[in-house]
Structures are given as C-alpha cells and as structure tokens.
C-alpha cells in the first residue's frame, strides 16, 4: 500500500513547465506515481484541491551546518521547514564547520566562533568532513543537508591565521585538505573573499584549488571580494577560476552597493535622498538598472563557456559578523590578539582613520586599502547590532552604532570597539545603506531576481541569541509572493523552478528538486491564494501563511500549517 497520496493538486514539477492537475503518490521515501490515482488508496491522504504541489525548496546558501549537530537542532531549523525548505547547502562564505583537524585546530574553532555565536571546543568532536557527515547521518537530521568545504577554514588548517600569501608548502597542504573534503563527500568549495583570511588569497591560490575541484567535478562558490565599485573585477576573479579549470561557478548573495570613489559623502547622500524620494514622494527611481551591467558580465561569462549561477537574499538588509567591516590587519593572529590590539587607543585611532580616509583599491590584501570598506561607503549608521552573547548588551540589538554611541556618550567607532571586546569578538550585525525593510534598497536587487540563472537563498545563521533576519522565516514565500504573485514579473511555475530544480542542478544534487516518479519525496503543498509573509526586520519571528504541508523523504514535517514534532527524516547528501 502507498504511504501518502496527495490528491487533486496543481503539480508545479520544478522544471518551469506549466502546472497540471494530478495526484502524487509516495511510497517510503520516493515518489511512486504521478497521475490520475482516483482509484488508489493510501495510509495517509492530503486533499490538495486548489493548492500547488511542488518539490521541496532547496536553500543553496546556508550556514545551518553550525547548528545541525546540536541537541534540539530540529527546533532551531523549524522556521526553515515551515517556509517549505527541505534541503540546505551549508559551509558557505568560506566558513565550514566540518573541517576541524590538524595543528591549527584551536585557531579554526575560535575563528568559527565569531559567526556561530557558540563555544565550539566541546560540541565539535570531529576533525574531518567524513566524521561530521557520519555523525549527522547516524543521529538523524530534520532537513536534508549537503556541504561545501570552506576556503577560509582550509587556509587556517594549512597556515594558521596569517596576513600574507601562502608559501608553496602551505598551498599544497591546503589543496590536500580540499582533496580530503571532496573525497569525504563535500559538493565543492566556498570562498569568503571579503573576509579574513580569504581576502589574503590571490589568483594563483584560487586557481590551485580550482584544479582540485575540477578533478572531483565540484562547484566553486564565492562570497565576492567586493560588492561595490569594484564588483566587475570581483566577478571576473571568480569567473577566471571557472574558465581556467572548467568548473561551475556560484556567486553568493549577489547585490550591488553604489560608491563614488573619493566622494563617500555623495554615496551616502544619494542613498538617503533616493530612499526618501522613492518611499515618500513615490518617484519610481529605477535603481535596479545599476545591477543590470553586472548581469551582462554573467551572461558574457556564460557565452565564454563558464556555467555561472547566483543566489540573492530577498531582504533590504544583509548580515554578517562585525569583524568583516574592519581592516584586514585587525584580524591577524588569534582572536585574543585582535581584541587586545583593539583595546589600545593608538591602534584604534589608526583603524578609525583608515576606515574614514583611505580609499579602497583592487585587490585588497594589505593595509587599509581593502576593496569593500563598507563603513566608508555608508557611514557609521550603515551597521546595526544583530546579536550579542551577553545579557547586559542585549539592549543594543537593532540599534545603529551612532545610536549606541549617543546612549554611551562616545563616538560610534568607540562603541563598536568596546562592544567587540566585551563580547569576545562574537558580534553579528545587519548592514544596510539606508534603513531596515527599505523598498528602495530592495528594488536595487530586482533585476537580479528576474535573471533566469538566479535563485533565492536564506543565508541562514542560527545563533542562540539575538534578532534573527526575517528571511530565516520567510525567504522562499517572500520571493514567490513578491515576484510571481504580487508584481507578476514571472510565472508561478518559474518561481518554483528557481527554488527547486535550479539549485539542485547548481549543486549537483541528484533526484531532488523535481517532482518525478522514483525521485525522493521532498514535497511542499501550498495555497497560492494565501501565500504571504508578515515577517519584517522589527518582527522577524513570523511564519508565512499558505505553506500547508511539507514532506521530507516521504515523512511529513508540516501538516495543516503546523510543525510535526519528533521527526528527523533528513538525509546527508554526499558528492555523487
């Protein structure tokens, strides 16, 4: 007998083809049959009349690998399944929790604590991706999980935290670490070229790693070196790795930050004036045109033989660790050394002067000329506190550093440094050139979302405390609501394709992302009329409406819009 029968659905199969009415039958963890099954019975039936049955959404850019090994992880990951996510790809932006071995293990763990918000010494019992994946597979997981090897983590494993190019022996050691990661199941490698230590790399270093990926058929993903006036160069840097080695490229959370070199005040004034005119005076400023020239570079790389895909996060505010916004030299050595330097008044004066006065150049490895000096481009109000560990500083969450500084009667930069020291470097921040939930800022990404090679992603960072980003709760429903339902800039079937078969193909995830007989039964049933989100920057913990049923490997994890407790049906997905 069949286990599950979804009746009377409009099947959007994930390929982008027109939806059609059919029943979907599940047996064990696979789709058994799709068609007219009116004479068939099953142990469990779902009436999907007026609803869409689609493949489970695949989150191609996540950091949930920092939480999935923890006890009670299913509660932390619940917001993902409640929005229809059935599979996530972890290990992005060069941060990978799966490789934690070698002589620099302690440096790896303290480096990763900045983004995870947790002490990792006790919970990280493994040393290799194989041990990590084996642990998760044995214990069970709510969601399907695939992993990328993180370039930043591998670099530390090979050389420690150094602000220089690698020596030949260190390069070879890092390549061996990548080979081990690929052998043990990683789908490819991610880079975080804005972050220390990834920003210390050069073309030769990345090319050497690209050769390893080519050997294994892996994907090369990248948080770019810059998203501002040098975005063209940042894109070409990763295209070159793909072109030289014949490997696919995935650009992480693409967006464009306007900046006029030498005129930071003009950049800041443009953002504020544009936001005011767009939101208050209703002037339809087509700011999305700024990204279109970058998309043409992607199209040109495709014509040149490089397979390029990219993801975007449907929100007007990004988020990452606070150290990423300071000059690279601040982070050299251990975290304790970095924080000790920030406690020195003379050193602080140097850092503040460099942020405010030194112009970014390309590439950024030395001194204060790093290519993505975000605070210079937006001013000190460009960052807001997202998460801190201590209770005494919890009042700052959601505030800009000038607001924090005024409350403490000190400059925003002094408040920033003092907070980093008090929180042992573990501070997450939101970044936006204007204000949270700004429609003007979000519009700057429209052309990216409409490109056929783009897909939405959550960039999920599950920390134990702090204000989460609303996309952890509503990324995929928000994308479908905005672009297919409300603005009608794409069909519902095309929106589903971007959330399913496109990310599956991008990461070489087989037999998922399409509703097809004998494929894995990862299925979401949603009501297109009801699909909507009420989450926002100020009220992020709000589940979307319209996501009614979710199945992972044939096991129901959401029923009638509510989570089903006690289920761990997810699979560990290894490189084929």
Examine residue 556 and state whether it is found in any structural domain, yes or no: no
At 116 the pLDDT is 80
pTM score: 0.95
Same domain assignment for residues 151 and 267: yes
Instruction: Identify the CA nearest to 547 among candidates 527, 574, 565.
Output: 527
**Is the pLDDT at 117 greater than 80, yes or no?**
no
Do 209 and 237 reside in the same domain of the chain? yes
The residues that bridge with 552 in the sheet, in sequence order, are 555
Residues 254, 137: one domain? yes
Percent of the chain at pLDDT > 90 equals 80
Above 80 in pLDDT, residue 237? yes
Residue 272 vs residue 555, higher pLDDT = 555
Show which of 431, 458, 487 is a domain's final residue: 431
Residue carrying the six token digits 């400059």: 411
Judge whether residue 210 has pLDDT over 80.
Answer: yes
Rounded mean pLDDT of 473-481?
98
Q: Is residue 61 situated within a structural domain?
A: yes
CA dist 521 and 55 (Å) reads 8
Specify if 526 maps to a domain: no
| Structural domain contains residue 133 | yes
Q: Is residue 118 part of a domain?
A: yes
User: By residue range, what is the domain housing residue 442?
Assistant: 56-318+437-510
Local structure of residue 228 (DSSP, 8 states)? S
What's the CA gap between 565 and 70, in Å, rounded? 17
Q: pLDDT (tens digit, 9 = 90+) per residue, 271-292?
A: 889 899 998 999 999 999 999 9
Rounded to the nearest integer, the mean pLDDT of the chain is 94
The last residue of one of the domains, among 510, 529, 556, is 510
423 shares its domain with 450: no
Q: Do 89 and 212 share a domain, yes or no? A: yes
Does 163 reside within a domain?
yes
pLDDT per residue as tens digits for the range 49-90? 999 999 999 999 999 999 999 989 999 999 999 999 999 999
The Cα 157–Cα 515 span in angstroms is 41
First to last CA, the chain: 31
State the Cα–Cα distance between residues 519 and 504, nearest whole angstrom. 12
Regarding whether 270 and 284 lie in a shared domain, the answer is yes
Separation of alpha carbons 298 and 539, rounded Å: 35
The pLDDT > 70 percentage for the chain reads: 99
Q: Which of 510, 544, 569 is the last residue of a domain?
A: 510
Q: Are residues 349 and 400 in the same domain?
A: yes
The pLDDT of residue 196 is 87
- Residue range 301-355, pLDDT digits in tens: 999 999 999 999 999 999 998 998 998 888 877 788 999 999 999 999 999 999 9
How high is the pLDDT of residue 563?
Answer: 97
Verify that 179 and 254 share a domain, yes or no.
Answer: yes
Q: pLDDT tens across 507-524, in order?
A: 999 999 999 999 999 999
Q: Tell me, what's the pLDDT at 122?
A: 76
Kindly state whether residues 107 and 238 are assigned to the same domain.
yes
Least confident of 82-96, 421-435, 510-524, 526-540: 421-435
Q: Determine, yes or no, domain membership for 7.
A: no
CB burial class (10 A; 0-12, 13-18, 19+) of residue 284?
exposed
Q: Which three-class secondary structure state does DSSP give residue 504?
A: helix
Same domain? For 158 and 203 the reply is yes
Task: Report pLDDT for 381.
Answer: 94
State the CATH number of the domain containing residue 485: 3.20.20.140
338 with 282, same domain: the answer is no
Indicate the number of domains in the chain.
Answer: 2
In this structure, the answer to whether residues 375 and 445 fall within a common structural domain is: no
Residue 147 included in any domain: yes
Instruction: Name the nearest CA neighbour of 89 among 567, 479, 512, 496.
Output: 512
Residue 365: pLDDT band (50, 70, 90) is low
């Amino acid at each position: 007998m069949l286990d599950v029968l979804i009746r009377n659905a409009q099947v959007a199969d994930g390929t982008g083809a027109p939806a059609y009415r059919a029943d979907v039958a599940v047996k064990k963890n696979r789709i058994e049959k799709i068609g007219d099954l009116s004479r068939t019975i099953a142990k469990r039936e779902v009436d999907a009349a007026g609803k869409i049955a689609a493949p489970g959404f695949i989150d191609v850019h996540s950091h949930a690998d920092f939480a999935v090994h923890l006890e009670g992880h299913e509660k932390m990951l619940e917001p993902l399944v409640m929005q229809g996510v059935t599979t996530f790809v972890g290990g992005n932006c060069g941060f990978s929790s799966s490789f934690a071995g070698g002589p620099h293990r302690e440096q790896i763990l303290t480096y990763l604590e900045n983004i995870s918000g947790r002490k990792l010494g006790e919970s990280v019992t493994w040393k290799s991706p194989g041990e990590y994946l084996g642990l998760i597979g044995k214990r069970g997981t709510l969601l399907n999980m695939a992993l990328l090897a993180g370039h930043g983590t591998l670099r530390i494993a090979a050389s420690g935290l150094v602000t220089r190019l690698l020596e030949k022996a260190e390069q070879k050691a890092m390549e061996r670490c990548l080979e081990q990661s690929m052998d043990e199941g990683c789908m490819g490698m991610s880079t975080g070229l804005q972050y220390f230590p990834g920003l210390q790399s050069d073309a030769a270093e990345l090319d050497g790693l690209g050769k390893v990926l080519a050997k294994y058929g892996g994907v090369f993903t990248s948080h770019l070196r810059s998203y501002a006036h040098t975005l063209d160069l940042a894109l070409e840097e990763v295209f070159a790795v793909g072109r030289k080695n014949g490997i696919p490229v995935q650009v992480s959370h693409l967006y464009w930050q306007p900046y006029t070199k030498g005129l930071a005040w003009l950049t800041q004034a443009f953002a504020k004036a544009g936001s005011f005119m767009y939101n208050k005076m209703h002037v339809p400023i087509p700011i999305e045109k700024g990204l279109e020239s970058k998309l043409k570079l992607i199209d040109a790389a495709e014509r040149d033989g490089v397979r390029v895909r990219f993801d975007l996060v449907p929100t007007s505010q990004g988020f990452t660790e606070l150290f990423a916004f300071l000059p690279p030299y601040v982070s050299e050595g251990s975290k304790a050394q970095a924080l000790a330097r920030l406690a020195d008044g003379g050193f602080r004066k140097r850092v503040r002067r460099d942020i405010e006065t030194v112009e970014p150049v390309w590439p950024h490895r030395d001194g204060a000329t790093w290519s993505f000096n975000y605070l210079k481009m937006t001013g000190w109000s460009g960052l807001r506190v997202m998460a801190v560990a201590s209770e005494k500083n919890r009042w700052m969450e959601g505030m800009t550093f000038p607001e924090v500084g005024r409350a403490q009667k000190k400059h925003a930069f002094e408040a920033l440094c003092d907070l980093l020291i008090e929180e042992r470097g573990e501070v997450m921040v939101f970044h936006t050139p204007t204000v949270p939930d700004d429609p003007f800022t979000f519009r700057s990404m429209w052309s990216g979302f409409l490109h056929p090679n783009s897909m939405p992603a959550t960039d999920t960072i599950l920390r134990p405390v702090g204000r989460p980003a609303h996309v952890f709760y509503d990324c995929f429903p928000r994308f479908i609501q905005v672009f297919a339902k409300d603005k009608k800039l794409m069909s519902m079937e095309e929106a589903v394709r971007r959330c399913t078969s496109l990310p599956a193909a991008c990461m070489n995830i087989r037999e998922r992302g399409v509703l097809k007989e004998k494929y894995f039964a990862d299925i979401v049933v949603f009501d297109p009329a009801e699909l909507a989100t009420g989450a926002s920057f100020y009220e992020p913990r709000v589940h979307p409406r319209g996501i009614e049923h979710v199945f992972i490997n044939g096991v129901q994890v959401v029923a009638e819009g509510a989570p089903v407790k006690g289920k761990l049906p997810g699979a560990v997905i290894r490189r084929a």
